[in-house]
Homo-oligomer: A and B are copies of this chain.
Amino acid sequence: MNSKKILASIITIGDELLIGQTIDTNSAWIARELNEIGIWVHRRLAVGDLWNDIWKALDEEGNQSSIVLITGGLGPTADDITKPLLCEYFQGKMVVDQGALENVKNIFENILKKPMIERNLKQAEVPDVCQVIPNKRGTAPGMLFEKETAQTTGSKTFFISMPGVPHEMKGMMSNYVLPMLRSSFHLKPVIHKTMITAGLGESFLAERIKNFEASLPNTIKLAYLPNYGMVKLRLTASDNNPATAEILNDRFDELYKLLKDIVVTDEDKTLQEVVGNILKQSGKTVCTAESCTGGFLAHQLTSIPGSSAYFNGSVVSYSNAAKENLLQVPADCIEQHGAVSESTVRFMVQGALAALKSDYAVATSGIMGPGGGSEEKPVGTVWIAVGNQWKTEARKFHFRFDRQRNIELTAVNALNMLRMFLQEQHP
């Protein structure tokens, strides 16, 4: 650890996080953005809507970090106590902020087109000891407080309070908080280089690159990030020496050579982005024929902006009738081999190519669970096929997880088979 690292804490406030009703996606986003500009989030803490717990969290994190980012608890309902608490904690008093007031009025008059109630006007009040951070996407303003704390004797710690609504928080971070932090701290450049591998488990991967890992200088760190049967490997350098970037690049190339056979991409891209790029560059189109993934594969492909340029569509053939009518899978084939079979997914590929007039197609059929398994075809049995009009490749998989994860793993493997097939055709 470099002692000059700028340390940040994230505090998320709200009972909904502690009773498990809400998954905290804000913290990951904030951490990623801070990481990009060289700020290290070393602690993330979630507390409920309780006065003492929030107060204590501010004390604890303020003493350990130069930057404390706080999300949540700013809503208009009675359980939202963060704003009055911050007012007392920083010894201010509540005043109406004119900019925030105009923002609230504007949102009600011009966007929501609804009459305002007093509860909404309250949103424009802020402690007089804070600097207001405008919220263009909602009614609750953000607040910046500065305080001398143990962490930064002589200097100050920033406390930044933002709403918990993801798109409001993101707008505030991008437009105000990140630029402010970038200019307020003397930040060291952080460089990441990432590759994604598939087909080798984390421990075998670690074994294969053991010597490489041991030989890395202190300035470069290797992280393993396993996810859905793939492992993301990231080299990180953070230091002021300009030579470090060059070393990082060299070591990255070395790592690439060691893992060439299993590398999916040497960029920090998702599999659907990699596939999308090959299709865009070659001017080809793809479609999917999905049974067990039930539309998730199409969703993955269409989550990329601009995917309409190469994605024609999908037939989600959940029923056998749909397989027969829309994808021309012969009833014979399903009767003889079953819907979860090599023949069926091969027919599905050819049927989708014709129905959706595409250059390439991917098909999935499997048993996702918890029901539907048999001795011969237990839950987790999956057939995936990929092809064009001349050639179809099929492969059988056995996943052994719950329904959600089986669906996700099937989609990842289907995308990876599509990637390999495309790379063969467009080397």
Could you tell me which A residues sit within 8 Å of B by CB distance? 1, 15-25, 27-33, 35, 40-48, 50, 53, 60, 75-79, 111-112, 114, 117, 119-120, 137, 166-167, 170, 201-204, 206-207, 213, 222-227, 232, 234, 288, 290, 293-299, 301-303, 305-308, 311-319, 321-322, 325-326, 355-357, 369-372, 400-405, 407
Q: Which residue of B lies closest to A80 (CB)?
A: B224
Distance in Å: Cβ of A208 to nearest Cβ of chain B: 10
Q: How far is the CA of A132 from the CA of B316 in the complex (A)?
A: 45
B203 lies within 8 A of A120 (CB):
yes
**In the complex, are the beta carbons of B22 and A28 less than 8 A apart?**
yes
A53 touches B42 (CB 8 A): yes
Number of this chain's copies in the assembly equals: 2
**B-chain residues with CB within 8 Å of residue A234 when the two chains form the complex:** 21
A34 to B29, CA, bound (A): 26
Of A35, A60, A314, A372, most buried by chain B (CB within 10 Å of CB) is A314
- 10 more A-B residue pairs beyond the given contacts A42-B50, A314-B315, with a C-beta to C-beta distance below 8 A: A17-B27, A43-B45, A43-B46, A77-B206, A170-B402, A295-B299, A308-B319, A312-B318, A314-B316, A322-B356
Q: Main secondary structure on chain A at its contact with chain B?
A: mixed
B313 and A317 contact, CB distance less than 8 A: yes
Of the residues B23, B223, B296, B357, contact of A15 by C-beta under 8 Å: B223
Closest B-chain residue to A119, C-beta based? B203
For the complex of A and B, the 3 pairs showing the least CB-CB separation, nearest first, are A294-B302, A295-B298, A20-B32
Q: Which residues of B contact A76 (CB under 8 A)?
A: 202-203, 206
Contact partner of A405 among B50, B167, B294, CB < 8 A? B167
Contact yes or no, B206 A119, CB < 8 A:
yes
**Which of B30, B42, B299 contacts A296, CB < 8 Å?**
B299
B residues within 8 A CB of A53? 42-43
Bound CA–CA A166/B324 (angstroms)? 37
26 A-B pairs whose Cβ atoms sit less than 8 Å apart in the complex? A16-B223, A17-B28, A20-B27, A21-B28, A21-B225, A23-B24, A42-B47, A43-B47, A75-B202, A77-B203, A112-B201, A167-B401, A295-B295, A302-B318, A303-B404, A305-B369, A305-B370, A306-B371, A313-B315, A313-B317, A313-B318, A313-B326, A314-B314, A314-B318, A322-B356, A326-B326
Q: Find A32's partner among B21, B117, B306, B315 (CB 8 Å cutoff).
A: B21
How far apart are the CA atoms of A370 and B370 in the complex, in Å?
38
Contacts known (A20-B33, A43-B45); A305 close to B403, Cβ less than 8 A: yes
The 8 Å CB contact of A298, one of B24, B294, B402, is B294
A248 → B minimal CB distance (Å): 16
**How near does chain B come to A68, taking the closest CB pair, in angstroms?**
14
Given A20-B28, A33-B20, A296-B295: A45 and B44 within 8 A (CB)?
yes
